[in-house]
Amino acid sequence: MKTLLKNRWLALWLAVSLVGAPALRAQDDPAPDSNAVTQAEAADASTNAVADPTEAQAKLDKESSASIGHSSDGNRNAMVVFGRNAELKPGETAEAVVVIGGSAVIRGKVRDAAVVVGGNLQVGEGAEIGDAAVAVMGSIDVRPGAEVKGEAVAVGGKVNVEPGGKVGGQTQEVDFGLGALKFNWLEKWLTHCVFKLRPLAPQVGWVWAVWGVFFLLYLFIAAIFQRPVNACVEELHRRPATTFLLGLLTKLLLPVVFLLLAITGVGLLVIPFLFAGFVLAAMVGKVALLQALGQVISAKFGKGQPAAALVNFLIGVCLITVLYMVPVVGLLTFAITALWGLGAATAAAFVGFKRELPEKPSGSSAPPPSYTAPVPPTPPTFSPEYPLASAVPEGVAAASTPVNPPDAAFGSTTVPPVSSSPPPAMPVPPIKPPAVDLLAYPKASFWERMGAAFLDTVLVSILGGIVGGPPMFFLVALAYFAGMWAWQGTTIGGIVIGLKVVRYDGHAVSFTVALVRGLAAAFSIIVLFLGFLWIAWDAEKQGWHDKIAGTVVVRLPKGTPLVCI
């Protein structure tokens, strides 16, 4: 076993070292000063141009052949080829042969080594390799009459030495447990896709199978998630440049967020779900981009009549497929559409979040109008001279009703003086204004609650990292959420977003209710976050933990201080 492992590492080291060594040695080898030779021979040619023009032309041909790395007699310094097959013809001699992303056929003489990466190496009849023959992700075939003076090493392939062929050193086949797995598919992919910078190529069959799988997935998204796709399409038409820049910014900031979550340790649990949401958003945005491109094309060729969404999607798929097959342009198209689709999804998410917020009135936002105590009526005033005059009905003669008749018993007609000041007002008991009905506020949307949950997760992850991680982390999280809900009915993330947890029965959130809600939230997380995803399609915007605890999350207007509610 130790010998086998040693041979494998030796083969890898040999393959890596031989890939770079020939080119380095070719650069280090002293070469004759071609400029000096050219000038000297050009002078000779000009002197004898009239005497022998054929000789002058032969010298110029020799100079041009030397300038491209080999002389007219077939000698080469080194043969280095990328992305295509190479052949060293009979009678030609090269210092070394290095082929990356293709196969090589040696029919001449190689003074040093021959290395092929991503292809097969064939040593033809009468050919000679002075050092090692190495094929990485390919096989070596030594034909009758061929000779390899060094070792023959095949990484991920076979070494086939036919009768009459000769290998001076050892033969090594390194398969790393892959058995009979062939690498022809990788050779074709490297040759026709990677080195030509395009995602699709007609010569590589398996990439079309992969593209077919993605097409079916995109078609499923276009049929099921019509509302988010249409929202992304609207943003692409309304703000094309902004969506692209937003996608680039999102792609740059996402690794930073992942790094911050990974530093906390506990945030590693959130990274897979966040990454899954990121991939889903990117795919929805890509589908929207394909549909938007189809709309532009159908509008130009359809005389302004819009086509169906599915037809536009298919038109966009055909256009992107053609562009993917163009070298260089295909890779640029793939990168641009990926960023553009991600930016469209991000912009649509922000717009949807903004639409969920309450509309800002002309004045300052405020809670529902408070209760105003009724003002008691003003008591009637009396005239000093005729205190009862105001009591006489209108239209009745004043003489018919005597005012303060004389007292017959005392024989006095004196009218007692009446004070001009009004009687004291009756005291009105204070009326306590009714409590603000929090259930009258709109319910928080899924994205608002996820935004608050993300902020709380970052905060709790930091606290959990301080206390040392699980199982103390879970106790810290439960204490944080239950305590904040019982104390203020919200959390730090809820305060930032403007959310509050209220009970359907109108009572305050007690510690018992908050504790039950926290434990139920753990259950919503364990079942692959399905309890939280339930908020997205529930009519009351409730998760499983809300339904268990009898609570709902409402969104308060801007400027409402949660700590005072």
User: What are the backbone dihedrals phi and psi of residue 96, each rounded to the nearest 5 degrees, phi first?
Assistant: -155, 160
Q: Would you state the structure tokens that stand for residue 47, as one six-digit string? A: 């002197």
Cα(149)–Cα(142) distance, integer angstroms: 12
Residues 177 and 226 in one domain: no
- d(C-alpha 55, C-alpha 41), whole Å: 11
What does the pLDDT average to over 329-333?
Answer: 93
Residues 237 and 327 in one domain: yes
Domain-embedded: residue 59? no
- Domain assignment present for residue 385? The answer is no
Same domain, yes or no: 173 and 305: no
Give the E-state strand segments of 79-233 in sequence order.
79-82, 86-88, 93-94, 97-100, 104-106, 109-110, 114-117, 121-123, 128-129, 133-136, 140-142, 147-148, 152-155, 159-161, 166-167, 171-174
pLDDT band at 356 (very low <50, low <70, confident <90, very high): low
- Provide the domain count of the chain: 3
Is residue 195 included in any domain, yes or no?
Answer: no
Residue 460 reports pLDDT greater than 50:
yes
**Percentage of the chain surpassing pLDDT 70?**
66
Boundary of a domain, candidates 322, 337, 352? 352
User: Is the residue at 402 inside a domain?
Assistant: no
Residue range(s) defining the domain that contains residue 285: 205-352
pLDDT at 501: 93
The residue count of the chain comes to: 565
In a domain, 193, yes or no: no
Whether 86 and 154 map to the same domain: the answer is yes
> Is omega for the bond preceding 471 within 30 degrees of 0, making it cis?
yes
Same domain, 487 and 540: yes
H runs (alpha helix) in 190-328: 205-224, 226-238, 240-264, 271-301, 309-324
Does residue 286 sit within a domain? yes
Mean predicted confidence (pLDDT) in 541-549 = 91
Q: Which residues pair with 160 in a beta bridge?
A: 141
Q: What letter represents residue 194's amino acid?
A: V
Q: How confident is the model at residue 192 (pLDDT cuts 50, 70, 90)?
A: confident
Looking only at the bridges linking them, the beta strands covering 551-555 and 499-503 are antiparallel
**pTM confidence score:** 0.49
- The per-residue pLDDT for 15 is 46
Average pLDDT, the chain: 75
Instruction: Look at residue 317 in the predicted model and tell me its pLDDT.
Output: 94
How many angstroms separate the CA atoms of 122 and 140, rounded? 6
Same domain assignment for residues 20 and 92: yes
Report the pLDDT averaged over residues 164-184. 72
- In this structure, of 293-297, 351-355, 370-374, 435-439, the range with the lowest mean pLDDT score is 370-374
Alpha helices by DSSP H, 357-507: 446-467, 472-488, 492-497
Q: Reduced to 3 states, what is the DSSP secondary structure of residue 105?
A: strand
222 and 91 inside one domain: no
Q: Which residue has the higher pLDDT, 424 or 271?
A: 271
Report the pLDDT value the prediction gives residue 419, as an integer from 0 to 100.
Answer: 53
157 and 210 together in one domain? no
In this prediction, residues 211-230 reach a mean pLDDT of 91
Predicted confidence band of residue 77 (pLDDT cuts 50, 70, 90): confident
Regarding whether 250 and 309 lie in a shared domain, the answer is: yes
Contact 509, 562 (CB under 8 A): no
Domain boundary among 335, 352, 369: 352
DSSP one-letter code for 407: B
φ, ψ dihedrals at 437, nearest 5°: -85, 100
Per-residue pLDDT of 80-112, as tens digits, reads: 888 788 898 888 899 999 988 788 999 999 999
Phi, psi of 265, rounded to the nearest 5 degrees = 85, -60
Helix, strand, coil percent values for the chain (each to nearest 5):
50, 10, 40
DSSP notation for 319-358: HHHHHHTSTTHHHHHHHHHHHHHHHHHHHHHHHHHHHHSP
Together in a domain, 222 and 330: yes
**324 closest CA partner among 290, 282, 288:** 290
> Final residue of a domain: which of 352, 384, 405?
352
Domain co-membership, 6 together with 110: yes
284 belongs to a structural domain: yes
Q: State the Cα–Cα distance between residues 124 and 110, nearest whole angstrom.
A: 12
Q: For the residues 333-343, what does the mean pLDDT come to? A: 92
Same domain for 22 and 168? yes
Of the pLDDT bands very low, low, confident and very high (cuts 50, 70, 90), residue 445 is: confident
3-class state of residue 123 by DSSP: strand
> Does residue 273 or residue 416 have the better pLDDT?
273
In a domain, 191, yes or no: no
Model confidence over 528-543: pLDDT tens digits? 778 888 888 888 889 9
Average of per-residue pLDDT across 304-315: 80
Looking up tokens 């209108």, which residue turns up?
Answer: 394
- State the Cα–Cα distance between residues 22 and 16, nearest whole angstrom: 11
Task: Return d(Cα 565, Cα 558) in angstroms, integer.
Answer: 14
The pLDDT-based confidence of 313 (bands split at 50, 70, 90) is very high
